[in-house]
Amino acid sequence: MKAVAALLTGLAVLAAPSRAAAPAAPPAADPHAAHHAAPAPAPLPGGSLYQLGARLEASDGTRLELAALRGRPVVVTMFYSTCTSVCPMLTLAMQRALAALDPGEQAAVRFVMVSLDAERDDPARLAEFAQSHHLGAPFLVAHAGAADVRAIAAALGIRYRQLPDGSFSHASVLTLLDRDGVPLARTQVLAAADEAFIAKLRATLR
Amino acid sequence: MRAARPLAALGALLALLGSPAAPATGAERVTLPAGEFTPVVAPGPEQKTVAIGAFALDATPVTNADYRAFVVRHPEWQRGRVAALFADSQYLAHWRRPADPGPAAADAQPVTRVSWFAARAYCQAAGGRLPRWYEWEYAAAADETRRDARADPAYRERILAWYAENSARALPPVGKTPRNVYGVMDLHAVIWEWVEDFGGLMVSGDSRNQGDPDKLQFCGAGALSAEIRDDYPILMRMALLSSLEASFTTANLGFRCAYEVTP
């Protein structure tokens, strides 16, 4: 028996490196589960973007999990700071949606802009962008790593391609997420307020 | 190739030693050298070529046996447990049970009905990533003797014949097509394969079009400056990949992984 046990131990040790190759946290896990023992949050709905496990770095340098946005409805878009053609309109569309809300509603929502330019849009550049466009609270202008940018864009159905000159060709989409990160509505209307989208946003805040 | 033999022997030895706990899975990896490459669709109006860095690639697509080992270790990727965000309702629908491919999905057949998110998670667990499109296209431009055989009509004809022949029958086992000059197999004849940047392939190379939903959604190959306009297999593949969402799964869509190499 002892010999068998020793053999099993040996095999377990030999097999260990292949197990260690597994990622530390499965994407479906709550990233904060380890930090707070007291009441576990309800499991995320199957369609929630907060299952991506993506990490953001805000323009003020704060690092946060995408899932930390849970709790308030979110309007999210993807852009890049050096974009001169459509992104100004995209930013304006975000500001227009915010302006359509009354102050109480404004305090209950987040407006999130995630850069597609993982390489160059560092917090300093995003801070400059936020300042020049007067994007205070409830805006969050954020950078993410290249793999997380791909995942967030994929989950939002935002197609994009980096061009040889470093600019991006990308779809301009505003997406409304509910309090759990599930997409409820999206719009590609930039030139004027999308009334249906704003109505849905207000209904979600009620 | 000479260096590959001792490595393969070591791999086989490790597989034997580890076998009771972890069945030997995973494809052979081959290294592709860096190179300048002219993709079928030019990256931009003023640029025709792309610089490809050296990378390693699975010689064959990921199989049902490989994928079974993955879902056993990572049950959150089993059918029935995977979140709707990550895979549609047809994910692994042809498998007998969530962690058992069964007779309809032979061990040596490529795994299909897997989403981009699932393929990515698999490659991450294997220490790699999905190949980028240009890497995939670079690997697929080679035949048995040449790194770029695309100008040869005989090469193209053979690839087109493969596509015509394979669409109607059951998926063949992996590793039955000739190795190309890099040692990679099954790039054309077997399945469609996910790439990391599948969503951007047909996006216009003119950034002034960005945000115009009509132009962006409907500009097809005709709106792009295709360098090699009659390379139908590549254009077809790009069109198919561009039409997918990251949670989609189909009966002919699988993947293989790429890996960084230290120069």
Domains, chain A, with CATH or none? 49-205 (3.40.30.10)
**Closest residue in chain B to residue A87, using alpha carbons only:** B211
Whether residue B117 contacts residue B77, with contact meaning beta carbons closer than 8 Å, is answered with no
Q: What residue type is assigned to position A11 of the chain? A: L
CB–CB of B125 and A11 under 8 A?
no
Cα end-to-end distance, chain B, whole Å = 17
CB–CB of A22 and B125 under 8 A?
yes
Which residues of B fall within a CB distance of 8 Å from A164?
43-44, 46-47
pLDDT mean over B114-134: 97
CB–CB of A159 and B216 under 8 A?
yes
Q: Which is more confidently placed, B137 or A38?
A: B137
Nearest-angstrom CA–CA distance, B257 and B252? 17
Nearest-angstrom CA–CA distance, A97 and B161? 53
Backbone angles phi, psi at B258, to 5 degrees: -115, 160
Whether residue B180 contacts residue B115, with contact meaning beta carbons closer than 8 Å, is answered with no
Chain B nearest-CA distance from A154, in A, is 6
Nearest-angstrom CA–CA distance, A132 and A125? 11
**Closest residue in chain B to residue A161, using alpha carbons only:** B200
A203 token code pair:
């209904």
Alpha helices by DSSP H, B130-169: 133-140, 153-166
Nearest-angstrom CA–CA distance, A24 and B81? 19
Q: For chain B, how big is the Rg over CA atoms in Å?
A: 19
Nearest-angstrom CA–CA distance, B169 and B192? 14
CB–CB of B85 and A52 under 8 A?
yes
**Residue whose C-alpha is closest to residue A156's, from A173, A143, A178:** A173
Which residues of A fall within a CB distance of 8 Å from B20?
11, 15
Q: Which is more confidently placed, B234 or A152?
A: A152
**Residue whose C-alpha is closest to residue B190's, from B208, B220, B213, B167:** B167
pLDDT at A97: 95
Kindly tell me if the per-residue pLDDT of B215 is higher than 70.
no
Beta-sheet pairing, A55-58 with A63-65? antiparallel
Kindly tell me if the per-residue pLDDT of B23 is higher than 50.
no
**Residue whose C-alpha is closest to residue B131's, from B121, B146, B120, B145:** B120
**Residue whose C-alpha is closest to residue A205's, from A120, A121, A102:** A102
B237 token code pair:
């593949």
Which residue in this structure is represented by tokens 């972890």? B22
Mean pLDDT for all residues in chain B:
83
Kindly tell me if the per-residue pLDDT of B211 is higher than 80.
no
Kindly tell me if the per-residue pLDDT of B205 is higher than 70.
no
Whether residue B180 contacts residue B188, with contact meaning beta carbons closer than 8 Å, is answered with no
Nearest-angstrom CA–CA distance, A186 and A142? 20
Whether residue B63 contacts residue B44, with contact meaning beta carbons closer than 8 Å, is answered with no
CB–CB of B127 and A21 under 8 A?
yes
User: How large is the angle between the packed helices B116-125 and B64-73, nearest 10 degrees?
Assistant: 80
Nearest-angstrom CA–CA distance, A59 and A129? 9
Backbone angles phi, psi at B17, to 5 degrees: -65, -35
A162 token code pair:
């980096």
Containing A168, the helix (H) or strand (E) segment is strand A168-170
Cα angle, residue B125 at apex, residues A13 and A46 outer, rounded to 5°: 125
Nearest-angstrom CA–CA distance, B209 and B219? 10
Nearest-angstrom CA–CA distance, A159 and A77? 12
pLDDT at B156: 87
pLDDT at B213: 46
Among B44, B83, B212, the residue with its CB nearest the CB of A164 is: B44
In a 3-state reduction of DSSP, which class is residue A112?
A: strand
B69 token code pair:
């080992």
pLDDT mean over B118-135: 97
Q: Assign B17 a pLDDT band (cuts: 50, 70, 90).
A: very low
CATH code that applies to domain B36-260 = 3.90.1580
Q: What residue type is assigned to position B16 of the chain? A: L
Kindly tell me if the per-residue pLDDT of B116 is higher than 80.
yes
* Bond prior to A138 in cis (omega within 30° of 0): yes
Chain B nearest-CA distance from A168, in A, is 6
Q: Which range is most confident: A19-23, A83-87, B47-51, B108-112?
A: B108-112
Kindly tell me if the per-residue pLDDT of B199 is higher than 90.
no
Among A18, A49, A159, the residue with its CB nearest the CB of B199 is: A159
CB–CB of A51 and B86 under 8 A?
yes
pLDDT mean over A198-203: 96
Among A28, A160, A167, the residue with its CB nearest the CB of B83 is: A28
pLDDT at B204: 59
pLDDT at B168: 60
